Chains A and B, each alone.
Chain A
Amino acid sequence: EPEVTQTPSHQVTQMGQEVILRCVPISNHLYFYWYRQILGQKVEFLVSFYNNEISEKSEIFDDQFSVERPDGSNFTLKIRSTKLEDSAMYFCASSETSPINEQFFGPGTRLTVL
Chain B
Amino acid sequence: DAKTTQPNSMESNEEEPVHLPCNHSTISGTDYIHWYRQLPSQGPEYVIHGLTSNVNNRMASLAIAEDRKSSTLILHRATLRDAAVYYCILRDPANAGGTSYGKLTFGQGTILTVHP
Contacts and interface: CB of A to CB of B under 8 A. Distances in A.
Interface string B2-37: 000000000000000000000000000000101000
Interface in B86-116: 91, 93, 96-97, 99-109
B93 A45 contact: no
A26 B64 CA distance: 31
Interface in A66-114: 91, 93, 95, 98-108
A13 to B, nearest CB: 21
Interface string B33-65: 010001000111110010000000000000000
Q: How large is the interface on A (under 10, 10 to 19, 20 to 34, 35 or more residues)?
A: 20 to 34
Q: How large is the interface on B (under 10, 10 to 19, 20 to 34, 35 or more residues)?
A: 20 to 34
Contacts of B38: 43
A102 B101 CA distance: 13
Contacts of B43: 4, 91, 93, 105-108
Contacts of A107: 42-43
A92 to B, nearest CB: 8
B32 A100 contact: yes
Nearest to A47: B103
Contact of B107 (A42, A45, A95): A42
Nearest to A106: B43
A97 B93 CA distance: 13
